[in-house]
Structure formats: structure tokens, C-alpha cells
Amino acid sequence: MGAAVGDMDPNSDSKPRPEFRRVGYAMGGLGCLLVFLTCLGALYQWEASNRDRRLNPPPGLLINVDGFRMHLYCVGHGSPTVVLDSGIGDSWLSWRKVQPEVALFTRVCSYDRAGMGWSDKSPNPRTSKFIATELHGLLHNAEISPPFVLVGHSFGGLNVRMYAGLYPADVAGMVLVDSTPDDMKGFPAELKAYNETFLRKENLRQTTMPLGVPRLMGWCGNGPPELRAMFRAIDCRLQPWHEHLAEYYAGDESMAQVRAGGLLGNIPLVVLSHDPGEPTDSFVKAMEKAWDESQENFTYLSTHSTRIIAKGSHHNIQLDRPDAVVAAIQRVVDKYKQRGAATE
């Protein structure tokens, strides 16, 4: 107790020691620097994002769908119209090597799901059922009439199957481009750890995007040189990464919705799968085996189906082997036309 009373002695020196003052000044200076850098990063992100969007306007149209705008880009002429749906986190640009070639033999439309690319955010959850109904509204409001050949890559495969389940009369045929399965049973348990690593990276990118860090570090907008400015305008913003994660977290619900949607009847269907190669890693081997089985199961969706493996491709077949995707689409278009001619 005596020591405590002595500390309160008014005659003692109560001024902070010089070394404590220096630490306080350093901490205050560091705090000011962090605030300055945060504000500078936010200003950099805001200015660069606005500049990129202004200098790289989207091709095609922005169509109002239930109070928000969706981006639609159509080229070519003819029927049926081919509709392209991208993989998770991707925009219409993922079809840049396919769409021009398909336009040589029929009309083809790519689009951005709500919250992705140039499309506004939707108030609806990011499940396949809402995505399919929004696509239906987009095509209807843009006066794009069926029949449609639906082409879905990865997560887009779930969406086009959901569309066919909701609006079967609109669908002339389908191409599933390395589509996401509607059930993850049979996949290795290690997939959970892989996904957790993926989520940590995505959350870091999302957290730092408002400060311009992904743009500065090159974590976004890494398209080919001739399209890099457009990729930055689309990808180097918070919204698409938020929607990417929203689609991911809604994945189980989307799969259940698609399973409940049933089969595809007898429409022409091509299941286009990536080349598994000859993996030596045990996890990759198990993944490829489960993926191959899921791809083979897709052939039972229609009584008029074909499966093709695109040699020399990885998951993004539309970028690695665009010719294989174009050929699959033409095959379905031709089958539909032949069927129509036979009934005349």
C-alpha cells in the first residue's frame, strides 16, 4: 500500500518519460499513416473504377428486368437462338472465342447474370432458380423469342438445366460445357480443405477490393492484352466478387433445385467434358474420377444425348478448345433443324 500512496505523491515527477513520449508519437504517426493510406487506396479504387467503366462501355444492351438492368449481347442471325451462360464468377467475356464463330451460322446471345459483368445487382438470392427466372425475363423484355439452344459452362450448366425445367417449351437443345454436377456425392473428402483455401483467397480479395489492393497487385482484370481494359472495368470492383461468393454459398440449394427440375426429355443434348489427362496426384485422380462419373450421368438427362471429351482442354473448354464448343453447338442446332424438317 505504501508504494501505491507514494506513486500518488503530488511532489513526484508525473510527466511521461521521454521514451514513452516517443512511442506515443510513433503510434500516433503510424495511425495517421494508415488512415492516409486507406483514404488514398479508396480514392485510387474509386477513380480507376470510374475511369475504366467510362472508357470501356459494354457492347449490346442493358435491359430492365424487374427494376434492375441486365447486360445482353447478341450477334448473328437465324433460329434457334443460342444463349450462353458463364461459369461461376465469369462474365460474357468468357465466351469471347466462341460467340463470333457461332454467329456465323445462327443468332447467339451472351449475357451477364445479375451482379456480374455489366449487370446490376438483383434483390433475389443467387440460386439457379432465381437466375433462370431472371434470364427468362431478360430474353422476354429484349424481345428475343424462343426456341433457344442453351449452353452452360460449369455453374452455368446448373442454370440452363433449371431454365429447361421451368420453361421446357422454350428449349430446342442444350450443350453442357464441363457442367457442375447437381450432387457432390462421390467426390473426395479433401475437396472441403481445397474449397476452404479458395474461400480464404476470395474473402481476402473481397475485403481489400475497396482499397484498390487487388487492382494494384494484379489480382483482378487479367485478361488478354487487347481486352485487359475491359476485364479491369468488369472485374476490379467489389460487386462481382460479392456475387461470386453469393453464388458459391448458394450452390447446395441450386443443386437441389436442379435435381427437382427433372429430366430433359428427348431434346438434343451434348455433354462436353474436359480432358482428364493422366494425373499422378491421388487427390487429383479422385477428383477426375468423380467428375468423369458426373459427366457421364448427364447423358441420361435426355434420350437424345452425346458425350464428347475435348482433348487438350482443362475446365475452361471455351477458352482452351473453343472449336470443340462451337462444333458441339452446331451439332445441336443442326439436330434441331433436322428434326423440324422431318416433321414438315
Q: Judge whether 126 and 243 are in contact, CB under 8 Å.
A: yes
Q: pLDDT truncated to tens, each residue of the chain (344 aa)?
A: 444 444 444 454 555 566 656 666 566 667 776 776 678 777 777 787 888 888 889 999 999 999 999 999 999 999 999 999 999 989 999 999 999 999 999 999 999 999 999 999 999 999 999 999 999 999 999 999 999 999 999 999 999 999 999 999 999 999 999 999 999 999 999 998 888 998 898 888 888 888 888 888 888 888 888 899 999 999 989 899 899 999 999 999 999 999 999 999 999 999 999 999 999 899 999 999 999 999 999 999 999 999 999 999 999 999 999 999 999 999 999 999 998 766 65
Which letter does DSSP use for residue 92 in this model? G
Cell of 102: 457461332
Cα 255 from Cα 13, distance rounded (Å) = 72
pLDDT reported for residue 32: 75
Q: What pLDDT sits at residue 289? A: 95
Alpha helices of the chain — where are they, by DSSP H?
Answer: 2-7, 18-55, 99-102, 128-141, 155-166, 191-208, 213-217, 228-235, 238-249, 251-260, 282-298, 317-320, 322-342
Q: Do residues 182 and 158 touch, judged by C-beta distance below 8 A?
A: yes
Q: Is 72 helix (H, G, I), strand (E, B) or coil?
A: strand
Q: Using DSSP, how many helices (H) and how many strands (E) does the chain show? A: 13, 8
CA 177 to chain centre: 14
pLDDT at 22: 65
> Which among 102, 89, 60 is positioned nearest to 322, based on CA atoms?
102
Predicted TM-score (pTM) above 0.85: yes
Cell of 179: 457442367
How far apart CA 336 and CA 175 sit, in angstroms, is 13
Short-list 268, 272, 273, CA closest to 334:
268
Residue 181's pLDDT is what?
97
**Omega within 30 of 0 (cis) for the link into 80:** yes
Q: Residue 18 has what pLDDT?
A: 65
